[in-house]
């Protein structure tokens, strides 16, 4: 357990969840103060991109020493915990979402984003006197993920370091038998499961999977043809060299030194060309032999690429004073890579292994293998966003299947099986209708929140949760209240409104301040129905909200029936 485990917890329907609130990309300090006044004891600061890739909020580099200390002092004074959400545009794999290529310039930008978020968390943590502040990184920001495989397959060329999509392929004026005769039995056997007649009856259709296999075979055929061409060139060069050797013998017999020198230079050139041809032939032979390793499905490659970036971020953290946690979040839609829970688990496990290998060789860290393993397990983990998971419904998954993905095991290598449940250190709680990442208050969408939580509790997972519920009409404040009611919280919080006099005396309380302006936005319930403030006079705010529970107020602090 790190120092960021919350001491006092909300008594919600799930009994033991530590709850906090994401404060969004606005005036971070003002929003944080507002969240603290609500009684929440955890908050998540949302950073914008340094390079304007996402959001209109504040990048880490634009919050200087004074603001960083203010965050830390506010959190320390109010005994609140903080986490940081790095810009969602960070892609640890280094894949540029625009080009689909893994280029050095983009990778350098991503490292700068990571470094800025880690430095920010480290500075705030120093002010708080804390260690291991969680930093949330989206697992990827590209759009090369897990769509319906009947429509599209994403492949990765390891040689070119590039992604390419493969869709259905129609071959006109072609039958299955004609395909077999033209391309051979080996190719036909690899694609026949995904081969079907076209609807117009004038050709055949290859499914994306079959088209992927066919593309590999076409590349294999092209490389074989290139090798044949090289062999033809080699034979021609060898014949020219043979003739040149005869000429050289004649020149030597005649003592023509100038001609001998010229012929020797030409012979050396032929020898070098023949050597180069053999190197190219060996390269082609190796390429043909390893064609299946060169062209792979991207969902198999993405976790390994992302692990490199996650490892780099963890090394930056390990070298800092307060060693923030690097938590990887499942991405926000199935069209993105690393949206499947098992793929996130693979990335995190691989990142831990890479970290151990790098940390034991790092002279500054000077760690033994066992210490490096302990630090890897402490620093690198998962932040599960339940709303992101729910968007798999757009591809036909139901609640049962979505929940089962959390404990589904995946194969990292021949000896290792991984599942997301074993790496979770934080949650993001929000809701949606299964189509977009709407960040609705809990209970307003279709996300199986309780089922997800209970499944992970049964798997031994206990982790604090941050509510990202600013997507409703009432914004953060209304979202918090609605979500807490959904969770069954008997009281919103015990600070600052443990008693009516204390609460009413607070000039920033919701009775006379911040929250009253949400009263006309359609929220038809008492914002503080848990404590019972509907009976207050309109001067103090009572009556701004209509209590749909059908009861009066009172100040007992007991939940209303």
**Domain parsing of the chain, residue ranges:** 19-143+299-487, 496-561
Query: What is the predicted pLDDT for the residue at 21?
Result: 78
C-alpha dihedral sign at 282, 287, 293, 294: positive
Compute how many other C-beta atoms are within 10 angstroms of the C-beta atom of residue 72.
20
Compute how many other C-beta atoms are within 10 angstroms of the C-beta atom of residue 276.
11
Q: How far apart are CA 344 and CA 347, in angstroms?
A: 5
Topology of domain 19-143+299-487, per CATH?
Answer: TIM Barrel (3.20.20)
Query: What is the predicted pLDDT for the residue at 405?
Result: 96
Report how far apart the first and last C-alpha atoms of the chain are (Å, whole number).
Answer: 37
Q: Where are the beta strands (DSSP E) in 71-190?
A: 81-85, 134-138, 152-157, 162-167, 169-172
Q: How far apart are CA 536 and CA 457, in angstroms?
A: 40
Query: And the tokens for 238?
Result: 């060898």
Say how many residues make up the chain. Answer: 561
Specify the residue for token string 């929003």: 31
Q: How far apart are CA 467 and CA 428, in angstroms?
A: 6
Cis peptide before 116 (omega within 30 of 0): no
The 3 state secondary structure assigned to 70-85 is: HHHHHHHHCCCEEEEE
CA angle 421–311–299, rounded 5-degree value: 60
Task: Give the closest residue to 4 by CA, choosing from 64, 75, 109.
Answer: 75
Q: How far apart are CA 37 and CA 78, in angstroms?
A: 9
Query: And the tokens for 95?
Result: 């894949």
Exposure string of 19-40, with b = 16+ CB inside 10 Å and e = fewer, is bbbbbbbbebbebbbbbbbbbb
pLDDT per residue rounded down to tens, the chain (561 residues): 333 333 333 333 333 446 677 876 567 788 888 777 777 778 899 899 999 887 667 899 989 999 999 999 999 998 888 999 999 899 999 999 889 999 899 999 999 999 999 999 999 999 999 999 999 999 999 989 888 878 899 999 999 999 999 999 999 999 999 999 999 999 999 999 999 999 998 999 999 999 999 999 999 999 999 999 999 999 999 999 999 999 989 888 888 888 899 999 999 999 999 999 999 999 999 999 999 999 999 999 999 999 999 999 999 999 999 999 999 999 999 999 999 999 999 999 999 999 999 999 999 999 999 999 999 999 999 999 999 999 999 989 999 999 999 999 999 998 999 999 999 999 999 999 999 999 999 889 999 988 998 899 889 998 888 989 888 777 777 888 788 777 766 544 433 222 333 333 333 333 323 332 222 222 223 333 333 333 333 333 333 333 333 333 333 333 333
């Amino acid at each position: 357990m790190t120092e960021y485990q919350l001491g006092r917890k909300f008594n919600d329907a799930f009994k033991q969840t530590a709850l906090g609130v994401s404060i969004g990309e606005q005036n971070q300090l003002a929003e944080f103060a507002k969240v603290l006044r609500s009684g929440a004891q955890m908050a998540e600061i949302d950073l914008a991109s340094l390079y304007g890739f996402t959001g209109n909020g504040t990048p880490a580099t634009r919050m200087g020493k004074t603001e960083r200390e203010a965050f830390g002092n506010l959190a320390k004074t109010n005994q609140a915990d903080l986490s940081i959400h790095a810009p969602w545009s960070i892609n640890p794999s280094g894949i540029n979402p625009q080009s689909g290529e893994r280029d050095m310039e983009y990778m350098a930008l991503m490292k700068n984003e990571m470094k800025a978020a880690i430095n920010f968390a480290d500075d705030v943590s120093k002010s708080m006197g804390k260690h291991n502040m969680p930093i949330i990184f989206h697992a990827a920001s590209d759009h090369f993920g897990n769509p319906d495989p009947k429509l599209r397959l994403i492949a990765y060329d390891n040689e070119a370091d590039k992604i390419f999509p493969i869709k259905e392929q129609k071959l006109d004026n072609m039958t299955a038998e004609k395909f077999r005769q033209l391309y051979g039995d080996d190719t036909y056997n690899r694609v026949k499961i995904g081969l079907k007649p076209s609807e117009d009856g004038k050709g055949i259709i290859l499914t994306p999977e079959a088209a992927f296999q066919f593309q590999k075979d076409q590349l294999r055929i092209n490389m074989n043809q290139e090798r044949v061409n090289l062999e033809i060139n080699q034979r021609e060069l060898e014949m020219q060299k043979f003739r040149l050797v005869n000429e050289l013998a004649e020149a030597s017999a005649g003592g023509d030194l100038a001609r001998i020198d010229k012929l020797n230079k030409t012979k050396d050139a032929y020898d070098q060309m023949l050597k180069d041809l053999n190197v190219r032939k060996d390269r082609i032979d190796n390429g043909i032999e390893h064609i299946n390793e060169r062209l792979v499905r991207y969902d198999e490659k993405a976790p390994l690429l992302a692990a490199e970036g996650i490892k780099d971020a963890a090394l930056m953290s390990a070298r800092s004073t307060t060693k923030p946690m690097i938590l990887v979040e499942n991405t926000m839609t199935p069209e993105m890579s690393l949206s499947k829970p098992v793929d996130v688990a693979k990335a995190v496990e691989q990142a831990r292994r890479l970290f151990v290998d790098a940390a034991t060789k790092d002279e500054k860290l000077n760690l033994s293998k066992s210490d490096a393993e302990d630090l890897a397990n402490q620093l690198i983990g998962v932040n599960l966003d339940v709303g992101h998971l729910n968007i798999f419904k757009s591809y036909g998954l139901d609640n049962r299947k979505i929940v089962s993905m959390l404990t589904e095991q995946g194969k990292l290598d021949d000896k290792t099986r991984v599942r997301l449940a074993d790496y979770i250190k934080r949650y993001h709680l929000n809701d949606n209708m299964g189509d977009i990442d709407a960040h609705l208050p809990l209970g307003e969408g279709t996300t199986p929140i309780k089922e997800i939580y209970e499944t992970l509790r049964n798997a031994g997972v206990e982790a604090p949760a941050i509510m990202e519920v600013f997507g409703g009409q009432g914004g953060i404040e209304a979202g918090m209240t609605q979500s807490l009611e959904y969770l069954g919280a008997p009281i919103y919080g015990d600070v600052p409104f443990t008693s009516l006099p204390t609460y009413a005396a607070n000039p920033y309380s919701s009775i006379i301040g911040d929250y009253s302006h949400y009263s006309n936005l359609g929220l038809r319930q008492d914002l503080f129905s848990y404590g019972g403030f509907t009976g207050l006079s309109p001067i103090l705010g009572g009556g701004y909200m209509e209590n749909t529970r059908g009861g009066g107020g009172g100040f007992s602090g007991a939940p209303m029936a």
